[in-house]
Structure 1
Amino acid sequence: MLKSARNQERDPEGRMPLVEHLRELRNRLVKSLLAITVAAVVAAFFYESIIDFITKPVLEAVGCDLKFSKLAQADKGTTCAKIVIMDLLGPFTLALKVSLMAGVIAASPVWLYQLWAFLAPGLHRSEKKYALSFVGAGFPLFLIGGYFAYRVLPTTATVLIEFTPVGVENLMQLDKLLDLVTRMVVVFGLSFELPLLLVLLNFGGVVTGRRMLGWWRGMVMGITVFSAVITPSTDPLTMIALAAPIVVLYFAAVGVSLVHDLRAARVAAAGPSDDEASELDLTPEAVGEIESVTSPPAALPEQASGREVSHGSLDDVT
């Protein structure tokens, strides 16, 4: 009952006292943390399968058992690596880390929605539509970038393992390997968010689509250099496999920004929408000459007609 009354009293434009904002932020955070906790607990029962899924491409590329079984140990000088855990608390810490990481990823729709719900009351109707579109497009783009990282990992591991000196056995700590995989997934995922960031800046009026189109040479060069650095493989196909999708997404963002600029120009020519205030005309205007303070005051209508007001004709209310 109190909750419904509070919702009815809320300002339709999203204005609330500071205490109400803090209370709502607390509720949103609690819901997000609860969703992450539930997802992490569920993922804890499958953490071994999650670890196998993450380490499988690396083991297929540089694992001693799998690699030597495939090669039938024909080449004794082939470099390989073994995955190990170095301390007693390592397995437990690893299980917590993997479960928490899987919980954050699995519960991302929930905490993204809570973030959206906290920011939505202060947005216009068009801004709400755009923000919801950004949230809906950002998560798939991040997953696509993470998938590219997952496919590039075997080639990356093969190149890195070749730096091992001859006669030295390479022991990869499982927690460090997971950190490397997580870092690459995050970097690749964020790199695929670049076009979305450019569109967001365009919709916010920071940069125009025409200016973004003028950056295409520098952006293509920067994306190519970034792909070459983040993928230490000497194979150019791996670098192109990362750079080409980002370049395509960049030009797609430029196209969306150009269309938005044309639409914004038509809307500005048509006038403000219903939920926007019109611009005020603050241009100063010339005023008439100020009357002199020494000039006599204007005569009353009775005085102007030459009649005198009789005080006796007024009712004495006292």
Structure 2
Amino acid sequence: MAFALRKRGPSEFERAADGSMTLMEHVRELRTRLFRASLAIVGGLIGGFWLAQPAFNLLKEPYCRLPGATDALGKCQQFLLLSPADGFILKLKLALWIGLIIGAPVWLYQLWAFIAPGLHRHERKWAYVFVSIAAPLFAGGAVLAYLVVDKGLAFLLEAGVTGTSTQLEVTRYISFVTNMILLFGVAFEFPLILLMLNFTGVASAKRLLSWWRAVIFICFAFAAVATPDPGPFGMTLLALSLSLLYFVAVGVAFLNDKRRGRGKEVYAGVADDEVSPLQLDDEPVVATPAVEFSGPVGAPAPVAAPAPIDRRYDDMT
């Protein structure tokens, strides 16, 4: 028995890419994707509520590694609570952060599925590459911040007048640690900006390298202003890490320029204010040959006079 194959129409992605979707269809698609992303975040929030306590114990480790933070039995000191609801509110905040991380594959996909039809094929390809690089860079910055945050805490507590045995308030401590982790993670995305400028042809590798003095100064100034740790350890480490990532990005830009053959143009090595060399041609100028005149044009043939109106006939008469 032969079955007739049903012809499938274009998918929503194809219709959005070729511009055949109406404005109301775009609005409905946005509503659907926001609903799916919200469900993913809510599901992650439920899972994060059960993982909030292990996450709190993990964030508490930098404080427990401080000298004087443990008692005679080796048990870490308890944090200070200023309100009975602080512990529950903190658990909700941690659950929300964990829920965003757990639901990230779903809500990031929904965001990408809504934006991708408006991009060209090569733009989508580079977006995949940059996203695959951005995630490890953020994770590397977050891990580095978690490993060194106890050094900043030790400096702050030892430099104060109360000493390292001070009992910290729990919400401010968690905010300090999470801000350090987020700041390091976001700051480690800095090389992507440089690579984006190079891969799109805005700036060559040589031009990026010529900015090294200004970039290093900006890295130290950003670390001094944005780091929540006022001690010199965290700021210096962040600035040095950003400087190292800058030179790594410039090295990748040099490889990209070499692959694309940039810098081999005729005037690639000529400065903007340098005068181009003149090429003198010693060949003599030859006179233009004479142009022969054409013969006279004959007189036009006479035009016959029109017939009178009464002698004109058309197809109908």
TM-score by structure 2 length? Answer: 0.70
How far off its partner does 1:189 sit?
A: 0.5
Q: Which segments of 5 or more consecutive residues in structure 1 lack a partner in the other structure?
A: 73-79, 270-302
Match of 1:38 among 33, 43, 56: 43
**Cα deviation, residue 139, structure 1:** 1.5
Match of 1:196 among 185, 188, 192: 192
Q: Which residue of 2 aligns with 1:96?
A: 92
Aligned residues: 269
Among 44, 60, 64, which residue is 1:59 paired with?
Answer: 64
1:87 equivalent in structure 2: 83
Matches within 5 A, 1:172-191: 172-191=168-187
Q: Distance in 2 between matches of 1:121 and 1:226?
A: 36
Alpha-carbon distance, 1:21 to partner? 2.6
Q: Secondary structure at the match of 1:144?
A: helix
Is residue 25 of structure 2 the alignment partner of residue 20 of structure 1?
yes
Contact persistence 2:14–2:117 (CA under 8 A): no
Between 12-21 and 257-266, the greater mean CA deviation after superposition: 257-266
Between the aligned residues of both structures, percent identity stands at 36
Out of 123, 128, 142, the position equivalent to 2:124 is 128
Q: Is the 8 A contact 1:164 1:170 kept in 2?
A: no
For 1:158-173, what aligned pairs fall within 5 Å after superposition? 158-166=154-162, 170-173=166-169
Residue in structure 1 matched with residue 149 of structure 2 by the alignment: 153
Partner of 2:15: 10
Amino acid corresponding to residue 64 of structure 1 in structure 2: A
Pair 1:19–1:200, CA change in 2 (3 A): farther
Q: Secondary structure at the match of 1:170?
A: coil
The answer to which of 144-153 and 100-109 deviates more is: 100-109
Correspondence for 2:248:
252
Q: Is the 8 A contact 1:195 1:250 kept in 2?
A: yes
SS at match of 2:219: helix
SS for the counterpart of 2:66 is helix
Q: Which amino acid aligns with 2:129?
A: S
The Cα offsets for residues 258-314 of structure 1, whole Å up to 9 and x where unpaired, read as 454566677xx9xxxxxxxxxxxxxxxxxxxxxxxxxxxxxxxxx9986989964x5
1:107 aligns with 2:112: no
| Greater gyration radius | 2
Per the normalisation by structure 1, the TM-score is 0.70
Cα distance 1:84–1:216, how it changes in 2: closer, same or farther (>3 A)?
Answer: same
SS where residue 126 of structure 2 aligns? helix
Matches of 1:28 and 1:258, distance apart in 2: 40
When structure 1 is superposed on structure 2, of 205-214 and 85-94 the one drifting more is 205-214
Matched, 1:144 2:149: no
Which runs of 5 or more residues in structure 2 are unaligned? Answer: 1-5, 266-300
CA pair 27-135 structure 1, distance change in 2 beyond 3 A: farther
Asked if structure 1 preserves the Cα contact closer than 8 Å seen for 2:219 and 2:242, the reply is yes
Aligned residue type for 1:19: M
CA contact (8 A) 2:154 2:164 kept: no
- Larger helix fraction of residues: 1
Q: Which moved more, 1:126-135 or 1:209-218?
A: 209-218
Compared with structure 1, are the counterparts of its residues 305 and 258 closer, same or farther at alpha carbon in structure 2 (3 Å cutoff)? farther
The Cα shift of 1:178 comes to: 1.2
